[in-house]
Amino acid sequence: MAATFEQKYQKVDRTPLGEGTYGEVYKVKNAETGEILAMKRMKLQDEEEGVPSTAIREVAILKELHHPNVVKLLDVCCTQNKLLLIFEYVESDLKKYMRKNGSGPLPPDTAKSFVKQMLQGIYFCHERRIIHRDLKPQNLLVTDSGRLKLADFGLARTYSVPMPKYTHEVVTVWYRSPEILLGQELYALPVDIWSCGCIFAEMGSGQPLFAGDSEIDTIFKIFQKLGTPSEEDWNTLYELPDMKHTFPKWKKKPWTKIRDLENTLGLEACDLLEQIMKYDPMRRLSAKLCLRHSYFGGN
């Protein structure tokens, strides 16, 4: 079965396109149709354990998600020691796109289009009770025609009520929400909204907003830019395992004064960021409400 599958999907390059959360991604060609596709190859570490739960989760989630702003899973093959996932091939990702743009801010219309598409993909996931948990520019694929697609669902989870305790060792540190950084184990959809806000601000400045080299460094970078939160901002703040009364107290700054975003993205964008980047997860706008914001023309 594996031979047939690997004969059908032949590697175009031996070098991987990149590494996802739990596997390498290769550019392949469908020998029958000539179509260029992407193959994610996931090694199964321990045969006795079988297919890792992360792989099963990714397959199960992607099989459910059919949306223009979510990467398409086309085929799956599982053998004794590896799992092969075949996806549509997308030419670039947001990180590469921004680098190609010269590491400066994206043009305002491009940023708006990408943010809207990112939120549409996230809204679709959230409506199906799926938290992506690892949103970052590398996981947002960008086609030549400017279509943005969410990818790498290796860490995604379906959530239910009551919420199970999740590991907080997820999401690249720069895009992690304060509740994860401060050790909260019960969290939900707003973690993705925070990550969307970080990516949105990065599009407007050309640089990651909170580029910390550890969890504590990242949380301090957040506090320095947005002000150290008080219990007025977040009433359960000091219930978080890693929040300390001894942390430095930085003053709050308006979004219009952060990274020149008022000039690069505009006032409406700064207002949307204000609504997205709330410390208290319960006060963050949902993806649905973000899409109704006046920045996108309202409803």
- Residues annotated as catalytic are 134
| Residue in the block written with tokens 């398409």 | 72
Show the CA angle centred on residue 255, arms to residues 199 and 251, nearest 5°: 115
HSE-CB at 156 with a 13 A cutoff on CA atoms is: 28
Name the phi and psi angles at 149, rounded to 5: -135, 135
Tell me how far apart the alpha carbons of residues 295 and 100 are, in angstroms, rounded to a whole number: 26
Tell me how far apart the alpha carbons of residues 123 and 109 are, in angstroms, rounded to a whole number: 21
Tell me how far apart the alpha carbons of residues 166 and 118 are, in angstroms, rounded to a whole number: 24
Name the phi and psi angles at 211, rounded to 5: -85, 70
| Residue in the block written with tokens 């179509």 | 35
Q: Read off the tokens for 277.
A: 């980047």
Cα of first residue to Cα of last residue in the chain, in angstroms, is: 51
CA distances from 237 to 29, 164, 182, 183, 219 (A): 51, 20, 9, 11, 13
